[in-house]
């Protein structure tokens, strides 16, 4: 028996297909939900009834999502502020955490609303039938008027699956962006660590205090520690020799460097006795 392959419409869609897009592309015929079935065939009538039911549930779920998420456009001021903001690995990480938290809260709200709708539907079913009257005709009519509990749950589950899928698509984009930023920032850090000032003026021009402190620790270290730092940060001897010579012969610069080291050690609680 030949192996059955996936339908082409699901290719690259992770098992989800946007019905609206398929209808726009002409791949799916849009049913006329306002017209009555042309046949009295029970199967056709049932199929039309299910289409109407699903359309109503999709409409109600879409309204719930809009009520939950609000307007997509945040306003001109917010858009301008977002345009000015520069993405960093830390800011995107924060956005990922916020997105996950918000999704969990929204999903819980949707489940709460579904529970309310389901309870209301069950109560209406209960109150709409008089169990004291035994009549096959009434029972048959009652069954036709009300959908099964399974259909109600299945429709909601389908909608929630699409809602989750939309969330994971947004989350996937953020995580890929975060990974790219982490990689870029790590590359910048390595490039920055490789830099070593050629003279005293270049050292004093460094605005990053951590980098200045790293250079000061190198200058005050012994030869073994210097070799280890050179291997760690990718410094070569001809790159560091000029500033080392300045440090050895310029007493004012040496005092400045040693003062920086003492100041850091004085603030370090691990060095207090």
Give per-residue pLDDT as tens, 148-173: 556 666 777 777 887 888 888 889 99
Q: Tally Cβ neighbours within 10 Å of residue 15.
A: 8
Domain-embedded: residue 1: no
Based on the fold, state whether residues 32 and 93 are members of the same structural domain.
Answer: yes
Domain-embedded: residue 273: no
| Token pair in block for residue 178 | 């975060």
Based on the fold, state whether residues 66 and 123 are members of the same structural domain.
Answer: yes
Q: Which pairs count as long-range contacts for 198-201, CB under 8 Å and 24+ apart, including other chains?
A: 198/242, 198/243, 199/242, 199/243, 199/246, 200/243, 200/246, 200/250, 200/253
pTM of this prediction? 0.60
Domain-embedded: residue 204: yes
Domain-embedded: residue 222: yes
| Domain end call among 132, 161, 191 | 191
Q: How far apart are CA 73 and CA 115, in angstroms?
A: 30
The CA radius of gyration of the chain, in Å to the nearest whole number, is: 34
Q: How far apart are CA 254 and CA 122, in angstroms?
A: 84
Based on the fold, state whether residues 184 and 206 are members of the same structural domain.
Answer: no
Based on the fold, state whether residues 231 and 135 are members of the same structural domain.
Answer: no
| Domain end call among 128, 159, 191 | 191
Based on the fold, state whether residues 56 and 163 are members of the same structural domain.
Answer: yes
Task: Spell out the residues 6+ positions from residue 38 whose beta carbon is closer than 8 angstroms to its own.
Answer: 44
Based on the fold, state whether residues 140 and 176 are members of the same structural domain.
Answer: yes
Domain-embedded: residue 62: yes
Based on the fold, state whether residues 124 and 207 are members of the same structural domain.
Answer: no
Q: Sorting pLDDT into bands at 50, 70 and 90, what band is 9? A: low
Based on the fold, state whether residues 61 and 155 are members of the same structural domain.
Answer: yes
What three-state secondary structure class fits 36?
Answer: coil
Q: How large is the average pLDDT for residues 67-96?
A: 79
Based on the fold, state whether residues 98 and 138 are members of the same structural domain.
Answer: yes
| Domain end call among 138, 169, 191 | 191
Residue 126 structural domain: 14-36+48-71+87-191
What's the length of the chain? 273
Based on the fold, state whether residues 52 and 164 are members of the same structural domain.
Answer: yes
Least Cα distance to 229 among 259, 198, 185, 196 occurs for 196
CB distance 181 to 92 below 8 Å? yes
What three-state secondary structure class fits 61?
Answer: helix
| Token pair in block for residue 164 | 């989750």
- Predicted confidence (pLDDT) at residue 273 exceeds the cutoff of 50: no
| Structural domains in the chain (count) | 2
Q: Tally Cβ neighbours within 10 Å of residue 218.
A: 21
Domain-embedded: residue 260: yes
Based on the fold, state whether residues 156 and 56 are members of the same structural domain.
Answer: yes
Of the two residues 16 and 99, the one the predictor is more confident about is 99
Of the two residues 181 and 57, the one the predictor is more confident about is 181
Based on the fold, state whether residues 154 and 173 are members of the same structural domain.
Answer: yes
Q: What is the pLDDT of residues 189-217, one digit of tens each?
A: 777 777 888 899 989 888 888 888 999 99
- Predicted confidence (pLDDT) at residue 80 exceeds the cutoff of 80: no
């Amino acid at each position: 028996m030949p192996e059955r392959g996936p339908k082409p419409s699901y290719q690259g869609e992770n098992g989800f297909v946007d019905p609206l897009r398929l209808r726009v592309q002409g791949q799916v015929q849009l049913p006329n939900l306002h017209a009555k079935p042309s046949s009295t065939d029970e199967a056709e009538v049932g199929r039309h009834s299910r289409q109407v039911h699903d359309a109503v549930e999709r409409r109600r779920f879409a309204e719930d999502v809009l009520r939950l998420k609000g307007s997509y456009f945040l306003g001109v001021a917010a858009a301008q502020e977002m345009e000015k903001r520069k993405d960093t690995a830390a800011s995107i990480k924060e956005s990922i955490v916020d997105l996950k938290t918000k999704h969990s809260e929204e999903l819980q709200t949707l489940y709460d609303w579904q529970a309310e709708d389901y309870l209301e539907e069950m109560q209406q079913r209960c109150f709409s039938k008089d169990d004291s009257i035994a009549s096959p005709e009434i029972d048959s009519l009652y069954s036709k008027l009300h959908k099964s509990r399974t259909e109600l749950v299945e429709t909601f589950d389908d909608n929630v699956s699409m809602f989750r899928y939309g969330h994971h698509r947004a989350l996937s984009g953020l995580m890929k962006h975060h990974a790219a930023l982490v990689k870029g920032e790590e590359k910048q850090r390595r490039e920055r660590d490789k830099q070593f000032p050629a003279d005293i003026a270049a050292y004093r021009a460094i605005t990053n205090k951590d980098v200045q402190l790293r250079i000061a620790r190198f200058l005050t270290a012994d030869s073994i520690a210097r070799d280890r730092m050179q291997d760690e940060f990718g410094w070569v001897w001809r790159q560091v020799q000029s500033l080392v010579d300045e440090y050895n012969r310029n007493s004012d610069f040496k005092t400045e460097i040693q003062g920086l080291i003492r100041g850091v050690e004085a603030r370090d609680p691990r060095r207090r006795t």
